[in-house]
């Protein structure tokens, strides 16, 4: 049925695949017990299979429970019947009886083969997932292999593993075609069980950061730091950057000569607009810069925690707020402040703004 050569082959697989001998044996015992019950559809009893690698033998046992009234003969037996096998048996005991299964050899061999192949597959998958666990928060290139039910499946790592990009992680308006090469951000590696998978994204704010790291050596080296990012994927991103090196132009480093660096990122993001904002430890100054490309005359703190009002020229109000409020919304997310944007004339009517006082502040907020 299962000879000694079989168990020696298991030992070889343990060395080759790194699968514990005990794991193989335990899985096989459970699978063989299940296979026996499937061979006899009407049988409802509990079967236990024990494998002995040392002798190369398999033993089968039927487990039945001692009860006062027998309802299922496959699972239960009366006290009188039990005491024929074991004189000191009592109600509630479990009687274990060895039996020799007939015509089970072929099924046992098939089951063993299936279990071994399954365990090898699971182990290789888990090992690959473990290797990918340190790839979280990184950008990887892959090839689209399947688009199904709005989900995109991407072959990563030279075909070692498949990444799943859910609809919420896809840039609105992008078209994903089979065999297209694509860059994705690894959000999470979920390992364990049949649901193990690598979740990837193109909408994550950190995807933009990682793309800039690829294009801007100063960011990769840590000379220029990305302090904050706010993003509405497919439309606009605001990225705040900073450096403590006075010799380095942080914005210029990210833009690149003739815009080559920022354009490379924009191209990868299918034309998404990117505002590169100099970060400031002064929150009001930071807010003024965050409302770029609009010019801000003044920013003042208002009542409430992290609340501010930004005054802009009348003809720049729509630019500061942005279409559907997007520019102001992204600026608020970037700075962590609630920003009320008002035109110069509206603020003056409400006595919230003095143009003469603002003259000296205007240069500071540009």
Residue pair 122/19 in contact (Cβ under 8 Å)? The answer is no
pLDDT band at 193 (very low <50, low <70, confident <90, very high): low
For the chain, state the CA radius of gyration: 34
Most confident of 102-106, 108-112, 114-118, 223-227: 223-227
What's the CA gap between 73 and 66, in Å, rounded?
A: 11
What's the CA gap between 360 and 366, in Å, rounded?
A: 12
Average pLDDT over residues 194-211: 88
pLDDT for residue 180: 94
Run of H or E including 326 = helix 326-335
pLDDT band at 41 (very low <50, low <70, confident <90, very high): low
Q: Is 300 helix (H, G, I), strand (E, B) or coil?
A: strand
Q: Which domains does the chain have, with CATH numbers?
A: 4-131 (3.30.1480.10), 142-201 (2.40.50.140), 204-279 (3.30.300.20), 283-366 (3.30.300.20)
pLDDT for residue 365: 40
pLDDT for residue 166: 96
Residue pair 27/119 in contact (Cβ under 8 Å)? The answer is yes
Per-residue pLDDT for 306 more than 60? yes
Neighbours of 31 (CB within 10 A): 19
pLDDT for residue 353: 61
φ and ψ at residue 53, rounded to 5 degrees? -60, -30
Most confident of 160-174, 216-230, 294-308: 216-230
> Please, is 345 exposed, middle or buried when counting C-beta atoms within 10 Å of its C-beta (0-12, 13-18, 19+)?
middle
Q: Give the residue with greater pLDDT, 352 vs 299.
A: 299
pLDDT in tens, 337-358: 999 999 999 988 877 666 555 5
Run of H or E including 324 = none
pLDDT for residue 218: 97
Tell me the pLDDT of the chain averaged across its residues.
86
pLDDT for residue 293: 95
Percent share of the chain, pLDDT over 90: 53
* Phi-psi sector, 306: left (phi>0), alpha (psi -120 to 50), beta: left
Least reliable range by pLDDT among 192-206, 219-233, 257-271: 192-206
Average pLDDT over residues 235-261: 96
What's the CA gap between 139 and 181, in Å, rounded?
A: 13
Query: What pTM does this model have?
Result: 0.67
pLDDT in tens, 130-164: 767 778 899 999 999 999 999 999 998 766 678 99
pLDDT in tens, 48-88: 888 887 777 778 888 889 999 988 888 888 998 888 888 99
- Token pair belonging to 362: 């205007």
């Amino acid at each position: 049925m299962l000879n000694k050569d079989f168990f020696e082959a298991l030992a070889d697989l343990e060395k080759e695949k790194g699968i514990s001998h005990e794991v193989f044996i335990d899985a096989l015992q459970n699978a063989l017990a299940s296979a026996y019950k499937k061979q006899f559809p009407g049988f409802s009893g509990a079967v236990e299979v024990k494998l002995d690698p040392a002798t190369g033998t398999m033993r089968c046992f039927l487990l039945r429970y001692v009860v006062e009234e027998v309802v299922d003969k496959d699972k239960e037996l009366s006290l009188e019947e039990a005491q024929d096998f074991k004189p000191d048996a009592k109600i509630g005991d479990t009687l274990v009886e060895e039996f020799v299964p007939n015509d089970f050899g072929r099924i046992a061999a098939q089951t063993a083969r299936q279990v071994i192949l399954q365990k090898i597959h699971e182990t290789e998958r888990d090992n690959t997932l473990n290797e990918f666990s340190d790839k979280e928060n990184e950008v990887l290139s892959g090839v689209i292999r399947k688009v199904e039910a709005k989900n995109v499946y991407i072959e990563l790592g030279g075909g070692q593993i498949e990444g799943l990009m859910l609809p919420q992680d896809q840039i609105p308006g992008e078209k994903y075609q089979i065999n297209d090469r694509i860059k994705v951000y690894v959000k999470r590696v979920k390992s364990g069980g049949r649901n193990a998978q690598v979740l990837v994204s193109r909408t994550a704010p950190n995807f933009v950061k990682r793309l800039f790291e690829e294009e801007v050596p100063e960011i990769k080296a840590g000379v220029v730091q990305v302090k904050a990012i706010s993003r509405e994927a497919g439309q606009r991103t605001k990225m705040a950057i900073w450096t403590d090196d006075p010799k380095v132009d942080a914005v210029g480093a990210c833009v690149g000569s003739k815009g080559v660096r920022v354009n490379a990122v924009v191209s990868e993001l299918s034309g998404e607009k990117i505002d590169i904002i100099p970060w400031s430890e002064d929150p009001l100054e930071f807010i003024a810069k965050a409302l770029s490309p609009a010019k801000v005359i003044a920013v003042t703190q208002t009542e409430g925690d992290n609340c501010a009002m930004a005054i802009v020229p009348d003809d720049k109000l729509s630019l500061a707020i942005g279409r559907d409020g997007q520019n102001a919304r992204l600026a608020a997310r970037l700075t962590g402040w609630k920003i009320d944007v008002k035109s110069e004339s509206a603020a003056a009517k409400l006595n919230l703004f003095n143009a003469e006082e603002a003259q000296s502040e205007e240069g500071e907020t540009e």
